[in-house]
Structure 1
Amino acid sequence: MNDTSLLLKTCLQRMEEKLQWGNSRDWVNADFIHLSEKITAASRISISPHTLKRLFGKIKYKEDHTPQLETRNALAIFLGYKDWEDFARHGAGPASVEAGDRHAAHLEAAAGRTAVHVPAAPADTSLPERRPPAPVREASGGVALPPPVLTGRRLGRAALLLGLLGVLTGVSFFTQLWPHAPVAPKASLRGKHLKGFPPLTAIFDYDVSARASDSVSIYFEGYNTRRLLPRDRRTITQWYEFPGYYQVQLLARGQVLASRAVHALSRGWEGIAAAEDFSRLYHLPAAPAIKDGHLYVSPAEVLASRVDTNQRYWVMFRNVRDFKASGDDFVFEARVMNDSRRSPTSCNDVVLNLTGAHHAIRIHFLKPGCSRWTYLQAGEVALNGEFNDLSVFGQDLSRWRTLRLEVKDRAVRIFFDGKFLYRLPYTQPVGPLKSISCDFMGCGRVDYVHLYDGRQERVYADAFDDPVQ
């Protein structure tokens, strides 16, 4: 990695810290659109959301790619520096002032003034003084006298104080026992028409009046859109064109206030194509999807669906229903291959997505040499190939391979052609299975799928010639 690449990595980390939107790996399309607008407003230089996704690693690109100087200038100006050269000079290491303060210092210097930053006084770390002893009454001659005797008036005052103390203690005790009035929730989200076949319009009623000082938005998973909620309204709708199991969340200051789920069902297996960054989805022909006992669509059919096949693209086969199996206790097996030859740099990704009511299990295989782009998920646990050695998921997928997942006791055991590869433990439950998806970078094939519950009883199977429901 060259010096410019290291500086760029530091710059992107500073941007994450400034935005406070969480880890950029979790950003969605709407976030990159918003960031593009913020950078343009700050620098008067336009950077497309697609370019930002590439810089932050959301889209595969060759290693150590250096963006043009104008792009780097825009990023530096967004952080409060004059240009990229200024960031390289002052922003490479831990800065003594925030970028915003440095920007103010530049303005002050231009006006002939120098900004002086006075360090805060250190906290007092000395130990507290010992409490002095109670004074001793002495008689003349230095002889200590016995404690004073309480007179009748003093006894009355003491009794009154003790009585008041007893009353207060009793009130406090019974207050703890007495049931409290219910506390109004900070936000609520209710929905209707949350399950059905697409096209499906789900209707959400929300109440965020208790958070009048916050900006509350609603996030629609799958469509990767985040919309600010108008405070003078109480209802918002979302249209679902494609099958899937989608979470809907009320968000404020990075916290989830309330959530619901939409179950857009499929009629068997349905094919979907997408650009590499999932910015647009396309319907694939349903009838010709099963060919010669395989689930498959050709590049010509993908092109006919208006997908640019000169660029990287995804083909996904989804089956969305209630599978009557727990996502925390099941066995899934599929025989797949991906022999796409779109370009020498294609990684021939094969992804198994099993979505539950609460979380998902996602297992990602690529051809050897591409494990840097591997992404695994089980429950709340997510691993990527950038910061983990996931090289065992780099496999030859150009011929038929059998992938098997055994999930039990909050752990996923992954097998490749009968050989154990990896164990992925998790804590938070996946929940009942709601969707199965076999996804390919390019045009892959599925020979069969089998799903068994925790008792090893088959709950679903399809050989794509004589389906068993």
Structure 2
Amino acid sequence: MLDEREELAKCLILIEEKLGWGSSAHWQNQDFDAVRERIADETGVALSTSTLKRLWGKVHYDSAPTATTLNTLARFLGYENWREFRKPLPLAENQVLQNTEPISPSLPRSKYLLNQANWIWIAVLFITVFLTGNWAFRNGEKRLEYGVITFGSRPVAQGLPNTVIFNYNAADSNADSVFIQQSWNPRLRFRVDKNNQHYASTYYYPGYFRAKLVLNDSIVKEHDLYITTQGWLGTINRDSIPVYFKDQQIRKNGVVAVTETDLVKQGVDLQKVVPSVSLHYVKPMGNLSASNFTFETELKSTFNHGSAVCQQTMIMLLCSNGVHIMQLSAKGCVGELGLSFSDLAVSGKTNDLSGLGVDFTDWAKVRCEVKDKQVTLFVNGKQAYTGQFEKDPGKIVGVRYGFQGSGEVRSAGFLGKEEVRML
């Protein structure tokens, strides 16, 4: 078995392959912010940007990653936990790998060609056997049959954190395996006991999920699971359980805000670390289409010390089948920004996103207009971007703001026929 460091290196390579963003050697700070959001969306656990940068060697750090961090990385790759990820190959597979020897370059050319020919015939024979066996397996495969199947869920509390109890009954089936998939992401699929009826999962962040009951490899039941907030919710995002600020704690003189004072009271040493802070508003918004809407907001980053000098700020419109992401920063850092609207991704490295640079000594006013999937984004009254996405992201189900350190929001709402005023 590989040691822990080698296993971690393998894990990080697999994450890079899953993301498909190219080598991490070229990742910038906003890329690690985006990784953090992807991991949080798929696992319900928010690893800090600084933790991710330490894992990828961007920041020197001698301590080993925590069990929570390792388990979260493994879950992001579709494993139940780090232990499952580290499980060695079955003995037979290990023996095959260990007993396979490369052709020695010191062999005479005639023997080398003979060995090469033998290997070709062996490969042909192997493929033939595999295809024949695969055909026989598929023709003899047991057809899934089932009768009355039930699947539902209920949160056990209001607010966050929140444990969700999944209730299911798959006994009336000939399925060999039963899974509960927590959202649209097939990597968040966990095997459950066919003869049991309950499975519990704890959620630490709000969001919208479409849970599925899977028999063998067939989805037979699904339903929407909506983890909402009670008004506004502030969080200091940490590797395990976040620090929460309830609605009444963050409403201050007509704004919602997490201030430097709030952070210090929670034991954050702002001289040593820049925390990731979020403001969430996740509540039903009617039938507000994520392909046709107008959103307006005023926000301000209020921390610009140390590594937060760029004041990178994120606005996320959470959707039932996707997400829209807008970023702002100090004017000199716009090359590090990016935009994402459903399946459309835009990088500040290869696009002119200079209009997303702002002076946060004053309020930044953002207006996002989407009509038939055509996006037009305005910042402080000037057009900053226009583009078109293709995939329907469903309904808008919530809003999330992200700050490096402290930040505040003065207004937020959706205009038009489906008007929703959040602040």
- TM range, smaller chain: 0.5 to 0.7
Among 278, 292, 309, the alignment partner of 1:316 is 278
Among 358, 361, 364, the alignment partner of 1:396 is 358
Which residue number in structure 1 is paired with residue 225 of structure 2? 262
1:28 aligns with 2:27: no
How far did 1:446 drift? 1.2
Which residue number in structure 1 is paired with residue 294 of structure 2? 331
Code of the aligned partner of 2:152: G
Which residue number in structure 2 is paired with residue 16 of structure 1? 14
Code of the aligned partner of 1:28: I
1:426 aligns with 2:389: yes
* Greater relative contact order (CA < 8 Å, ≥ 6 in sequence): 2
Distance 2:262 2:55 in 1: 32
Greater Rg by CA: 1
1:362 aligns with 2:306: no
1:191 aligns with 2:152: yes
User: Given that residues 358 and 430 in structure 1 are in contact (C-alpha distance below 8 angstroms), is that contact kept between their aligned partners in structure 2?
Assistant: yes
Against the structure 1 CA distance between its residues 394 and 331, is the aligned structure 2 distance closer, same or farther, given a 3 Å change threshold? closer
SS of 1:340's equivalent in the other structure is: coil
Which residue number in structure 1 is paired with residue 313 of structure 2? 350
Among 417, 439, 442, the alignment partner of 2:405 is 442
Structural mapping, 1:210-221, within 5 Å = 212=176, 216=179, 218-219=181-182
1:235 aligns with 2:235: no
Distance 2:279 2:40 in 1: 22
Which residue number in structure 1 is paired with residue 244 of structure 2? 283
1:303 aligns with 2:269: no
How far did 1:338 drift? 0.9
Which residue number in structure 1 is paired with residue 24 of structure 2? none
Code of the aligned partner of 2:357: Q
SS of 2:53's equivalent in the other structure is: helix
How far did 1:334 drift? 0.7
User: Given that residues 285 and 301 in structure 1 are in contact (C-alpha distance below 8 angstroms), is that contact kept between their aligned partners in structure 2?
Assistant: no
Which residue number in structure 1 is paired with residue 53 of structure 2? 54
Which residue number in structure 1 is paired with residue 341 of structure 2? 378
Distance 1:107 1:340 in 2: 58
User: Given that residues 195 and 263 in structure 1 are in contact (C-alpha distance below 8 angstroms), is that contact kept between their aligned partners in structure 2?
Assistant: no
User: Given that residues 265 and 320 in structure 1 are in contact (C-alpha distance below 8 angstroms), is that contact kept between their aligned partners in structure 2?
Assistant: yes
Code of the aligned partner of 1:396: V
Code of the aligned partner of 2:411: Y
Against the structure 1 CA distance between its residues 414 and 210, is the aligned structure 2 distance closer, same or farther, given a 3 Å change threshold? farther
Which residue number in structure 2 is paired with residue 292 of structure 1? 253
Structural mapping, 1:157-236, within 5 Å = 184=145, 190-193=151-154, 197-199=158-160, 200-206=162-168, 207=170, 212=176, 216=179, 218-219=181-182, 227-236=190-199
User: Given that residues 299 and 409 in structure 2 are in contact (C-alpha distance below 8 angstroms), is that contact kept between their aligned partners in structure 1?
Assistant: yes
How far did 1:108 drift? 10
How far did 1:416 drift? 1.1
User: Given that residues 22 and 254 in structure 1 are in contact (C-alpha distance below 8 angstroms), is that contact kept between their aligned partners in structure 2?
Assistant: no
Code of the aligned partner of 1:339: T
Distance 1:187 1:397 in 2: 60
How far did 1:363 drift? 1.4
User: Given that residues 332 and 451 in structure 1 are in contact (C-alpha distance below 8 angstroms), is that contact kept between their aligned partners in structure 2?
Assistant: yes
Tell me the TM-score normalized by structure 1.
Answer: 0.56
Against the structure 1 CA distance between its residues 365 and 189, is the aligned structure 2 distance closer, same or farther, given a 3 Å change threshold? farther
How far did 1:217 drift? 5.9
Against the structure 1 CA distance between its residues 460 and 188, is the aligned structure 2 distance closer, same or farther, given a 3 Å change threshold? farther
* 1:106-142 deviations in Å (ceiling 9; x for gaps): 7999xxxx9966553699xxxxxxxxxxxxxxxxxxx
Distance 1:289 1:49 in 2: 21
Against the structure 1 CA distance between its residues 401 and 345, is the aligned structure 2 distance closer, same or farther, given a 3 Å change threshold? closer
* 1:40-81 deviations in Å (ceiling 9; x for gaps): xxxxxxxx9999943886xxx75xx7999x99xxxxxxxxxx
Distance 1:382 1:53 in 2: 24
Code of the aligned partner of 1:265: T
Against the structure 1 CA distance between its residues 401 and 28, is the aligned structure 2 distance closer, same or farther, given a 3 Å change threshold? closer
Code of the aligned partner of 1:261: D
**Gaps in structure 1 of 5+ consecutive residues:** 1-10, 33-47, 72-99, 124-181, 463-469
How far did 1:428 drift? 2.7
Distance 1:215 1:52 in 2: 35
Which residue number in structure 1 is paired with residue 120 of structure 2? 120
Q: In the comparison of the two structures, how many residue pairs are matched?
A: 335
How far did 1:274 drift? 0.6
User: Given that residues 152 and 223 in structure 2 are in contact (C-alpha distance below 8 angstroms), is that contact kept between their aligned partners in structure 1?
Assistant: yes
How far did 1:218 drift? 3.5
Against the structure 1 CA distance between its residues 305 and 216, is the aligned structure 2 distance closer, same or farther, given a 3 Å change threshold? same
How far did 1:22 drift? 6.7
Distance 2:263 2:148 in 1: 43
User: Given that residues 312 and 330 in structure 2 are in contact (C-alpha distance below 8 angstroms), is that contact kept between their aligned partners in structure 1?
Assistant: yes
Against the structure 1 CA distance between its residues 279 and 189, is the aligned structure 2 distance closer, same or farther, given a 3 Å change threshold? farther
Against the structure 1 CA distance between its residues 220 and 330, is the aligned structure 2 distance closer, same or farther, given a 3 Å change threshold? closer
Distance 2:214 2:345 in 1: 24
Distance 1:285 1:431 in 2: 28
1:407 aligns with 2:407: no
User: Given that residues 218 and 229 in structure 1 are in contact (C-alpha distance below 8 angstroms), is that contact kept between their aligned partners in structure 2?
Assistant: no
Structure 1 vs Structure 2: percent identity of aligned residues?
15
Distance 1:279 1:332 in 2: 32
Against the structure 1 CA distance between its residues 233 and 245, is the aligned structure 2 distance closer, same or farther, given a 3 Å change threshold? same
Tell me the TM-score normalized by structure 2.
Answer: 0.61
Distance 1:349 1:404 in 2: 18
Against the structure 1 CA distance between its residues 268 and 345, is the aligned structure 2 distance closer, same or farther, given a 3 Å change threshold? closer
Against the structure 1 CA distance between its residues 52 and 227, is the aligned structure 2 distance closer, same or farther, given a 3 Å change threshold? farther
User: Given that residues 159 and 230 in structure 2 are in contact (C-alpha distance below 8 angstroms), is that contact kept between their aligned partners in structure 1?
Assistant: no
Which range is displaced more, 404-413 or 193-202? 193-202
Distance 1:253 1:369 in 2: 52
**Gaps in structure 2 of 5+ consecutive residues:** 1-8, 22-34, 66-94, 105-110, 125-142
SS of 1:430's equivalent in the other structure is: coil
Distance 2:256 2:49 in 1: 31
User: Given that residues 300 and 364 in structure 2 are in contact (C-alpha distance below 8 angstroms), is that contact kept between their aligned partners in structure 1?
Assistant: yes
